[in-house]
Structure 1
Amino acid sequence: MSSTTPLATAKHENLPETMRAFRLNAYGTNPAEVITEERIPLPSVTEPSLLVKGKPTQILVRVAASALNPLDTKLGSGMAKAVQKCIFPLTPGSDFAGTVVSVPAGVDTDLRVGDRVCGSLDTIPRVAKHGHGTFSEFVAPQAAHVVRLPDSLSFAEGAGIGVVACTVWQSFVGQLGITPPPEGHKVSPAAAGKKILILGGSSTCGIFTTQLARAWGFSDVTVTSTQEALCKSYGATRVVNYRETAPEKQWWNVLKGENFDVLYN
């Protein structure tokens, strides 16, 4: 049974009551016409309507960086209306990185105030319907959707992980059935010794796919890209320039007759 009793919360001492946020006021393709900067209240993480079985599930994070995803632009332009209509005004944004400033008592997490973290929001229900996105000074994500950010990564780098990494993971594990290496093994049996072709190796999804493929044991990671050095720095074994115009150098002719176990587009 849900309770309206205030919860004891670990939080930063100097949290403001309001924050700056970019607000989307209508559908449109020109941000200057439909987005304004406003001051709005900080998102709550303990109000009764947000509790799950009487317990909070969200934490509060001070945003240091937020990424712009294709889904964010599709949401704002109205291209995603068939999936979820927006309730205006709303704060857009899905991916973020920042510092934990509040952890309500009862949240199932080992995250603590002061931790550097990155994560992602449920874009369609959370942002489109409830209006609480990451283009703001604070965000209240589900604790389960947040991870600690290694010191070796900047906030800007961390903000670019969320949706992209989840997309690649779901493709490998959910759709292809390629799972991480078992405990005590360095490679995944489903990937060991196999060949993968990644179209668009220097895209964000391409970079994550390349790293995951090499880490899990693919022996041949071929990518199409114009940025050979970049792709090889992330583990590509071969890079084919897709902009070559000479017939014998076009990527589909270069790779003609080769058999790949996985094609990732």
Structure 2
Amino acid sequence: MRAVVIEGYGGSERLQVREIPEPGPPGPGQVLVRVRATSVNPIDGKIRRGRLRFVMPARFPLVPGFDVAGEVVAVGPEVTGFQPGDPVFGGVDIDRHGGASAELVLAREAALAPLPGSLSFAEAAALPTAGLTALQALRDKGELAAGERVAINGASGGVGHLAVQIARAAGARVTGVASARNLDFLRELGAERTIDYEEDDFTAEDDAWEVVFDAAGNRSYRDVEPSLVADGGIYVTTKVGPDIFGWVAVTTIGGLLGQKKRARIVAVKYRAGDLVQLARLVDSGRLRPVIQEVFSLEETGKAHELSETGHVRGKVVVRIA
């Protein structure tokens, strides 16, 4: 089968299309999927460049791609929710079975859900990693409730533009932070208020937000803390590093001493139930992934390069077949 393969750490030139063996038959709880589309996430570039080698060491040759949308080819023992021919979307474990930048991929049944009927394969491929990150950040880490004020930094990007819609669907009062060229886009998604980060600093407003979701991962808890409400404001970030780990520990200990503000990290979990929740939001018209550009499998390097600019509106998708 055709697949994109990485033989070692480096730039986008490391992404090569090759013929590789097809995955073996699905084992217990596994599903073999014919991939129609995948998408590129910031973590793909970080893994390829070796920036996460100490926490997520790559095993080469590596097929990248966490997101999958396609059709079930075969199911393993103990799989009860799918049968061959079913359209599905979800996430894959690239370190165990190889990623979705290939014609076929193995995935766990527990990390897949039926494809929303109103989405194309390309649109569905844009949803799993970014959508689950947004949902789990706001619902689980941010404990966002109806009527609360949430600021979403990086609101026009892959995770951010979905977070705006999910927060709005939850009944929150949403402020989107992005560049000036994206503010109309955020209002179209349902943001009640928008802030151009080049002109105004959303962290300069004291006691302004119940939740701050830093989807861009470029504002520290130290920056954001004064703008959180004193009575339980929560900062959630996608960034992983010593600084945020330290603040998570400090605010957790502080909670035992009466400090109510919190710093938390979101790390995506591919769960069928959450994918179903995203699908329901899609089918109800309250959530729609936006795609900036679709590339072919042979253009995966260009897709990675666009993603790594950090200025994508919505998602970058790779069509496999």
The normalised TM-score by structure 1 is: 0.73
Contact 1:224 1:251 in 2 (8 A): no
Letter in 1 for 2:89: C
Query: Structure 1 209/196 Cα, relative in aligned 2: closer, same or farther at 3 Å?
Result: same
SS state of the match for residue 30, structure 2?
A: coil
1:133 deviation in Å?
A: 0.9
Check the 8 A contact 1:90/1:131 in 2, yes or no.
no
Q: Is the 8 A contact 1:87 1:131 kept in 2?
A: no
Is the 8 Å Cα contact of residues 6 and 60 (structure 2) preserved in structure 1? Answer: yes
Tell me the equivalent position of 1:223.
176
What code does the residue aligned with 2:136 have? Q
Q: Does residue 20 in structure 1 map to residue 2 in structure 2?
A: yes
Partners of 1:61 and 1:99 within 8 A in 2: yes
Query: Residue type matched to 2:153 in 1?
Result: L
Give the TM-score taking structure 2 as reference length.
0.61
Deviation of 1:111 (Å) = 2.1
Tell me, yes or no, if structure 1 residue 238 matches structure 2 residue 193: yes
Q: 1:79 aligns with which of 20, 38, 51?
A: 51
Correspondence 1:261 to 2:261? no
Q: How many residues matched?
A: 212
Q: Which has the higher contact order (CA 8 A, sep 6+)?
A: 2
Task: Please name the residue that 1:7 is paired with.
Answer: none
Q: How many Å apart are 1:112 and its aligned residue? A: 2.5
In the alignment, which residue of structure 2 is the partner of 1:111? 82
Q: What RMSD over aligned residues (CA atoms) do the two structures have, in Å?
A: 2.0
> Structure 2 matches for 1:192-207, cutoff 5 A?
192-207=146-161
Q: Secondary structure at the match of 1:41?
A: coil
Could you tell me which amino acid in structure 2 is paired with residue 27 of structure 1?
Answer: Y
Alignment of 1:152-191 (within 5 A): 152-178=118-144, 191=145
Q: CA deviation at 1:206?
A: 1.4
Instruction: Give 4+ residue runs of structure 1 displaced > 4 Å after superposition.
Output: none
Contact 2:177 2:202 in 1 (8 A): no
Shift of the 35–202 alpha-carbon distance from structure 1 to 2, 3 Å rule, reads closer
How many angstroms apart in 2 are the aligned matches of 1:81 and 1:256?
37
SS at match of 1:170: helix
Deviations 1:71-111 (A, max 9, x none): 1111111111101322221211111211112123421x422
Deviations 1:191-222 (A, max 9, x none): 1221111112211211121111111121x211
The match for 1:142 is: 108
Q: How does 1:37-116 map to 2 (within 5 A)?
A: 37-46=17-26, 50=27, 56-107=28-79, 109-116=80-87
C-alpha contact 1:89 1:131 (8 A) present in aligned 2: no
Match in the other structure for 1:247: none
State the identity %.
35
Q: Highest Rg: 1 or 2? A: 1
Q: Equivalent residue of 2:64, what SS?
A: coil
Cα offset for 1:131?
5.5
Structure 2 unpaired stretches of 5+? 215-321
SS of alignment partner, residue 202 of structure 1: coil
* Larger relative helix fraction: 2
Deviation at 1:229, TM superposition (A): 2.5
The answer for unaligned runs of 5 or more in structure 1 is 1-18, 51-55, 179-190, 245-249
